Copies of this chain bind each other. A is one copy, B any other.
Amino acid sequence: MKIWGLRRTFSFVIMDGKSISAKILNDLKDEISSLKMKNYTSSVPTLGYLVNSSNAGSFIYYKKKEKTCHSIGIDTIGYDVIGKNDISELYGHINYLNANTAVNGILVQLPIFPGANEAEILDKVSLEKDIDGLTRKNMGMLFMKNSEPLFYPCTALGVFELIKSYGINPRGLHTVIIGRSNLCGLPLFSMFQKANSTVTMCHTATQNLKQITSQADILVSAAGKANLIREDMVKDGSIVIDIGINKINTGEKSLIVGDVDYERVREKTKFITPVPGGVGPMTIAMLLKNLVKAWKRAQNF
């Protein structure tokens, strides 16, 4: 029954990526120290990195990852390529990190080299150290049937850890994904499809977006557009995952918001991720989880 002005609100659950990622990082810290003790190993899990500090935003983000590494017992070693304009030097650095057995995983913090083909650069990382999961072969293994990648791309993996934490099984549900990036949308397509969800991929050329999102049991927005998802586009009792990170100015101050009109949409949902504090914090935790996985494999743990 629908009565004008009457509105059904659910008791929604806010998916708390901040505290879940903190717990994951704490577990990783314990795992690293206990493995080192049990196995009398002198090996320390080590992240190899390439960063270009001329991009302030990218450098701050790298520094956050570095700090998190150090806080749980992971070493870092790498290069700042600021001021270099020789791509073959960059490839030389990647080759050095590939060959160095003390390095367990390699992070190429994008943007790394102005005007370069990023997929080409990322593809130089060896498969076994590709903790971002973005080499072509790893992506093929993610995409293909009866096949698993060595590493799942971090943001997509973070979404899956998050829904798992809340006991959500996507099997048989209709998942609608907005945005088709290599980092988020495409890996999520593969992961939800392999988890037996029916998956619809929407993007900038999609007609009647509202008609499609209204059917979603799970709606994932990775469009990077504030207020894209309004109340009337969301199904009652659905699960909404917001991967957008958008800077908006409200008078004097600037705010970080997602793609979802959170205040209004949340009352229609069963589960929703906030921005910030939802998927965002999960991403770094998953990078370090992948690194520890690579370290354990290299150590035969």
Contacts and interface: CB of A to CB of B under 8 A. Distances in A.
A205 B144 contact: no
A206 B198 contact: yes
Interface in A157-196: 171-174, 180-182, 186, 189-190, 193, 196
A49 to B, nearest CB: 23
Interface string A114-146: 000001000000000000000111111111111
B136 A205 contact: no
Contact of A145 (B140, B141, B186, B198): B186
Copies in the complex: 2
B144 A182 contact: yes
Interface in A6-38: none
B172 A193 contact: no
Contacts of A180: 145, 193
B201 A198 contact: yes
Given A182-B144, A199-B201, A200-B200, A206 B139 contact: no
A199 B206 CA distance: 9
Nearest to A170: B205
A233 interface: no
Contact of A143 (B171, B186, B199, B202): B186
A249 interface: no
Contacts of A102: none
A193 B145 CA distance: 18
A226 interface: no
23 contacts: A136-B140, A136-B141, A138-B140, A139-B140, A139-B143, A139-B144, A140-B141, A140-B142, A142-B143, A143-B190, A144-B182, A145-B180, A145-B186, A172-B205, A173-B207, A174-B212, A180-B193, A189-B201, A193-B203, A198-B203, A198-B207, A199-B201, A200-B201
Given A136-B137, A140-B142, 10 more contacts: A136-B144, A137-B140, A139-B144, A145-B181, A145-B182, A174-B212, A180-B193, A198-B201, A198-B203, A198-B212
Interface of A: 119, 135-147, 171-174, 180-182, 186, 189-190, 193, 196-203, 205-207, 212
